[in-house]
A and B are shown apart, each in its own frame.
Chain A
Amino acid sequence: MPRPSNARKLRKLIAEREKSRGLLIAFEGPDGSGKTTQHKLLKRWLESQDHEVVSTRWASSALVKPMLKVRKKIRTLSVEEYSLLHAVDFRHRIETSILPALWSGKTVLADRYLFTALARDAARGLDLDWLLHAYSPLLWPDLVIYFSMTPEDSRRRIASARAPRFYEAGQDVTGIDDPLASYSRFIDRVVTEYDNLSVVFQFVTVDAGEAVYRQHTRVRELVEKAEKRPWMTFSEEAVQEWLIKSNTPDA
């Protein structure tokens, strides 16, 4: 932890950066809800408006992705290991790509964020309080867009495209051999968790059943109206820790 004099300096620095920092927008929702499509459309639109945009995807850090991939492939992860390895990936992306981009004024679009872990891992039976603890200190997004759909619709969309993968289908916890049957049961729990989280964390909901263009129009409106959640109120600890670790020249 920083010394009191340093802490004061860091707080001042964070407050000064508030105005010029970028916006963090998270896309959340069950599989097949069209997050990635909307994420791409928004990115293209923001770039056409001369915004610098950085995209970040779930489980994509160069450090952790290979470790996760091989363990998922041989299906050796327990519920805790699965959750903790995703937490490692998330923390590493926060420190090496999300915060540096926001600090330099870029907009960050996150295709899935913290809430994916909370919904999936809570659906696997882990304690929500422990999960929030593992992911803390939290960097709160300025806007969370939740693409809402029923479990049946999610199942139908996934089934029409491909067979769900082992962990995606929750086969590690349901014990059902058929991926689609397992997915049907697992996605029920995931959507319930998402719905609870959307109330607690005040997501902005978009109906994933609407036409792609209508959804995109709604997303644009939301982004245009979006206000920053002040770092000093919501994410001070996470930003301070990153500043200390990264030896940012301004700090």
Chain B
Amino acid sequence: MADQVKYPGRLITVDGSRGKDTAAAADAIVERMRGSGVECAISRWDASGLFGELAATARGDRNISMRTLALVYASDLAFRLRWEIRPVLEAGGVVVAAPYIETPIAFGAGCGLSEEWTRQLLRFAPPADVRGRADERKLDRPWKRRTDRGFPEYCAMMLDASAPRTLSKRARHEMMRMLDQARGRKIFTLSDKGVDAIAKAITDNRPGALRRSASRPRNARK
């Protein structure tokens, strides 16, 4: 079940405790990579549309548990892997997945789900080549309770309907604590410096074929 395939491409993952910052960090990486001549795809949360449909269906009754939402996340991730991530990796390209597996693991843990359960559930996802963490830029403000911002905000909104409002606050703290844990891998903090470091990590290791020539190739006429 675990994805042990060694893909020719590179997978960069971005996780964070706030959807908007995660998306912004992913955009910054893609921009920087493109600037250095590397074409880069991006895979975002809810590409399958499941969360959007769920919010529409559950408008009146939000009797949904964190475990159910984690399963929906897993299904959405399976969709993203099939259509957005694996095809790029198989073709030898670079793809940024934002968020990836650490976000639901950390948020789930903040809501009482065992870390091991979520990690095992998502074990079909291939490991990241480079891991990045998007720190929150506005720590003093609460999350915006919206269904289109990101997974943590979405869950906070859905869960707060049936649980005490303190849940999202507690989950946020727990989430930040967990996202700080490196688990034996280097994690890049996605400040400007971090984005440069990720771009360098990828461009230094990637196969030569990945580099898109900035100028016209010499043999173009042939």
A interface vs B, CB < 8 Å?
Answer: 1, 62-63, 66-67, 78, 80-81, 84-85, 87-88, 91-92, 95-96, 126-127, 129-130, 133-134, 136, 241, 244-247
- In the complex, the answer to whether A62 meets B57 with C-beta atoms within 8 Å is yes
Closest CB-CB distance, A211 to chain B, in whole Å? 41
- Residues in B with CB closer than 8 Å to A66 are 53, 57
Cβ contacts B1-39/A at 8 Å (1 or 0 each)? 100000000000000000000000000000000000000
- Residues in A with CB closer than 8 Å to B163 are 245, 247
6 closest A-B pairs by CB: A84-B75, A80-B78, A127-B1, A130-B1, A88-B71, A81-B78
Say whether chain B's binding surface is mostly helix, strand, loop, or mixed: helix
Partner of A126 from the list B1, B48, B66, B117 (CB cut-off 8 Å) is B1
Does B41 interact with chain A (Cβ within 8 Å)? Answer: no
Closest CB-CB distance, A176 to chain B, in whole Å? 21
- In the complex, the answer to whether B75 meets A133 with C-beta atoms within 8 Å is no
Partner of A88 from the list B66, B72, B117, B120 (CB cut-off 8 Å) is B72
> What is the CA–CA distance of A136 and B67 in the complex, to the nearest angstrom?
10
- In the complex, the answer to whether B54 meets A67 with C-beta atoms within 8 Å is yes
Q: Can you name 7 A-B residue pairings with CB atoms under 8 Å?
A: A1-B112, A80-B124, A91-B65, A96-B63, A241-B65, A241-B67, A245-B65
For residues 47 through 67 of chain B, which have their beta carbon under 8 Å from a beta carbon of chain A? 48, 50, 53-54, 57-58, 63-67
Closest CB-CB distance, A222 to chain B, in whole Å? 32
- In the complex, the answer to whether A78 meets B82 with C-beta atoms within 8 Å is yes
Partner of B57 from the list A67, A87, A95, A130 (CB cut-off 8 Å) is A67
Does B191 interact with chain A (Cβ within 8 Å)? Answer: no
Q: A80-B75, A244-B112 are in contact. List 13 more A-B contacts (CB 8 A).
A: A66-B57, A78-B78, A78-B82, A81-B79, A84-B72, A84-B75, A92-B68, A130-B120, A133-B120, A133-B121, A134-B74, A134-B121, A245-B66
For residues 91 through 149 of chain B, which have their beta carbon under 8 Å from a beta carbon of chain A? 112, 114, 117, 120-121, 123-124
- In the complex, the answer to whether B53 meets A84 with C-beta atoms within 8 Å is no
Smallest Cβ-Cβ distance to A76: which chain B residue: B79
Closest CB-CB distance, A65 to chain B, in whole Å? 9
Closest CB-CB distance, A101 to chain B, in whole Å? 14
> What is the CA–CA distance of A85 and B54 in the complex, to the nearest angstrom?
12
Q: With A78-B82, A126-B1, A130-B1 in contact, is A88–B57 under 8 Å at CB?
A: no
- Residues in B with CB closer than 8 Å to A136 are 117
- In the complex, the answer to whether B117 meets A133 with C-beta atoms within 8 Å is yes
Smallest Cβ-Cβ distance to A65: which chain B residue: B57
- In the complex, the answer to whether B1 meets A95 with C-beta atoms within 8 Å is no
Q: With A85-B75, A127-B1 in contact, is A63–B124 under 8 Å at CB?
A: no
- In the complex, the answer to whether B57 meets A92 with C-beta atoms within 8 Å is no
Smallest Cβ-Cβ distance to B48: which chain A residue: A81
Closest CB-CB distance, B194 to chain A, in whole Å? 32
Among B72, B82, B112, B114: residue with most chain A CB under 10 A: B72
- In the complex, the answer to whether A91 meets B67 with C-beta atoms within 8 Å is yes
- Residues in B with CB closer than 8 Å to A67 are 50, 53-54, 57
- In the complex, the answer to whether B53 meets A88 with C-beta atoms within 8 Å is no
Partner of B68 from the list A78, A91, A133, A244 (CB cut-off 8 Å) is A91
- In the complex, the answer to whether A87 meets B71 with C-beta atoms within 8 Å is yes
Closest CB-CB distance, A134 to chain B, in whole Å? 6
Q: With A91-B67, A244-B112 in contact, is A63–B57 under 8 Å at CB?
A: yes
Among A1, A91, A129, A245: residue with most chain B CB under 10 A: A245
- Residues in A with CB closer than 8 Å to B74 are 80, 84, 134
> What is the CA–CA distance of A113 and B124 in the complex, to the nearest angstrom?
24
Q: With A63-B58, A67-B57, A244-B112 in contact, is A81–B65 under 8 Å at CB?
A: no
- In the complex, the answer to whether A134 meets B71 with C-beta atoms within 8 Å is yes
- Residues in B with CB closer than 8 Å to A87 are 71
Closest CB-CB distance, B77 to chain A, in whole Å? 9
> What is the CA–CA distance of A126 and B121 in the complex, to the nearest angstrom?
13
- In the complex, the answer to whether A95 meets B63 with C-beta atoms within 8 Å is yes
Smallest Cβ-Cβ distance to A95: which chain B residue: B65
Smallest Cβ-Cβ distance to A84: which chain B residue: B75
